[in-house]
Structures are given as structure tokens and as C-alpha cells.
Amino acid sequence: MLTRLMRAMVGGLIAAGLLFAAGTAQAGSVLKEGFAFPTDHTPKIVVFRPEVQVGTLRAAGQDEPNVEWTQTARTNIASEMKTQATAQGLNLEFLGDQQGTDAELIDSHRALFLAVSSAVMTHGIAGDHLPTKREERTEENPGKRWRLDWTLGPGMAKFAEATGAEYGLFFYTHDAYGSAGRKTAMIFAAMWGAYVPTGIHVGYAGLVDLKTGDIVWFNTDIAMGGDPRETEGAAKRVGQLLAGFPGSKPAFPGASAAAPK
């Protein structure tokens, strides 16, 4: 017989599971209509420090960050980004740690990317498309189409001026591994016919035109593979997030085929 605490915990997990199932989106790589890199030179891409969080998902759903895991994952992911970019012939330059107002400016735009990413995922990939993002039907294009039409604003031009880069690459990955209590609660929830995820494995990647601030490519997955705390896992994670990157070779190491637009 379940205790009152366990009943309350399982009830909360069931509700969370139902919300998760209702909001589940397919992974997808989306390219802005008509976008392509220039062909007369290799464009310089500045990489904002990857936003990485790794921790534990507790029984009742608390997401508890782990500093050591996060630092290890951040180091592995940054290393893999450089390795895979070199293999793809990309000209990436990582923004180093900044101080004062420069650091605040970078952090504010990284936070803005995360906020906009949520909107792109919900209204550009998941299926809850906004009417304002719908393309007009034409004889050449009779079916429904949804455009990648989000921006981080003209403030991104400051980074073009400061770095000489044409594009900015943002990277976000979040993992929370289920604790023993979480897995036990999941079993109880399953007995009640509910699905409760054992962990969180989400990632976003986005390429921004620094002159305009427009997002020209975006990729996301809410069920990512690879453990970024391990070198091999980080390689798989980076490959998945860079799948469908404009102008890339057939696939990055560890990447699966990108979902269609």
C-alpha cells in the first residue's frame, strides 16, 4: 500500500508525464528558406560558449545540477565541436571568457537564444505552428509550409564588428539522469498506466547571421543520445546537434539523419 507521500509523489509524476507526452516533439533540423553559405570563401563562424548542464533528476522531479559533471561535459563538448568542425572544413572561432560589460552582453544573448529556441521548437518544429509563420500556397508550392522566421535582433551586429565573423553558433545541451528514487517512482507510475520519463536529454543548436540577427539554421532534439560526460558520448551528442548543418558533408560523426522540414 502506498504511503501518502508516495501517492502524492506518484500523482505529481503522472501529471508531469502526461504533460511531457502531450508536448513531445520530433527532432528536426530547419533551414531558413533560400539560405546558403557564400561560395567564394569559407565564412568565419564565432561560437558562443556552449550552454551545458548535467545533473540528477530526483524522484519528485527536482532537477539537481552537478558541477563536476557539468564541467566535464562542457570540456568534452567544446573539444568535440573543434574536432568535428575541422573535419567538416568549418572556420570556427570560440569566444573566450570575457569580463565586465562584454561578459554581460554575451550572457544576455545566450539567454535570448534559449528563449527564442523554445519558441522555434514549439512553433516551428513541434507542430503548434503560428499562422504568422505560414507560407502562402502557390502553384509551385501547393502544400503547407512553415518558415524559419525568428531573430535575435540587430544587437548581434556588435559581435560581427568585434570578431570579424559573419555568423554566430549557439549550442545548448541539458541532461539530468534519473536517481534510484526516480526510477522506483517511475515503476509505481507505470502501474497506474502513466508514462514518466526517467531523465532529461535536450539539445538545441542554432546558426545566426550576425549582420541581421536572423536565425538561419536551427536543430533540436528532446531525446538526445550520448553521455556528454564521456568522450565517445560527447562525440555522438555534438554529431546529433550538428546534423543538417548547412553545407556539411553527409553526416557528422555520431549524427542521425536530420528530420525533414
The residue with greater pLDDT, 14 or 192, is 192
Amino acid in the structure at residue 107: D
Residue at 168 is within a domain: yes
How high is the pLDDT of residue 220?
87
Q: Out of 21-25, 71-75, 111-115, 118-122, which region has the weakest mean confidence (pLDDT)?
A: 21-25
Candidates 160, 158, 169, 199; CA nearest to 182 is 199
- Inform me whether the pLDDT recorded for 109 exceeds 60: yes
How high is the pLDDT of residue 108?
86
pLDDT per position as a tens digit, 173-227: 999 887 766 555 555 555 666 655 567 888 989 999 999 999 999 998 877 889 9
The residue with greater pLDDT, 93 or 195, is 93
How high is the pLDDT of residue 221?
83
The rounded mean pLDDT for the chain is: 76
How high is the pLDDT of residue 90?
87
- Inform me whether the pLDDT recorded for 22 exceeds 60: no
Residue 178 belongs to domain spanning:
4-241
Q: How many CB atoms lie within 10 A of CB 184?
A: 14
The residue with greater pLDDT, 19 or 249, is 249
Q: Average pLDDT, stretch 101-114? A: 83
How high is the pLDDT of residue 88?
86
pLDDT per position as a tens digit, 38-63: 888 889 999 988 889 999 887 666 77
Residue at 148 is within a domain: yes
Radius of gyration of the chain (CA): 20
C-alpha cell at 131: 499562422
How high is the pLDDT of residue 119?
80
Residue at 260 is within a domain: no
Residue at 204 is within a domain: yes
pLDDT classification of 18: cutoffs 50, 70, 90: very low
- Inform me whether the pLDDT recorded for 252 exceeds 50: yes
How high is the pLDDT of residue 23?
40
Checking DSSP bridges between strand 28-31 and strand 215-221, what pairing results, if any?
A: antiparallel
Q: Out of 34-43, 118-127, 161-170, 231-240, which region has the weakest mean confidence (pLDDT)?
A: 118-127
Residue at 163 is within a domain: yes
Whether 143 contacts 137, CB under 8 Å: yes
Domains of the chain: total = 1
- Inform me whether the pLDDT recorded for 67 exceeds 90: yes
Residue at 255 is within a domain: no
User: CA 144, CA 164: separation in Å to the nearest integer?
Assistant: 38
Residue at 65 is within a domain: yes
User: CA 152, CA 159: separation in Å to the nearest integer?
Assistant: 12
Q: Average pLDDT, stretch 25-35? A: 75
Amino acid in the structure at residue 85: A
Output the pTM of the full model. Answer: 0.76
Residue at 252 is within a domain: no
- Inform me whether the pLDDT recorded for 19 exceeds 50: no
Q: Which residues of 8-35 are buried (b: 16+ CB within 10 A; e: fewer)?
A: ebbebbbebbeeeeeeebebbbbbbeee
How high is the pLDDT of residue 218?
92
pLDDT classification of 69: cutoffs 50, 70, 90: very high
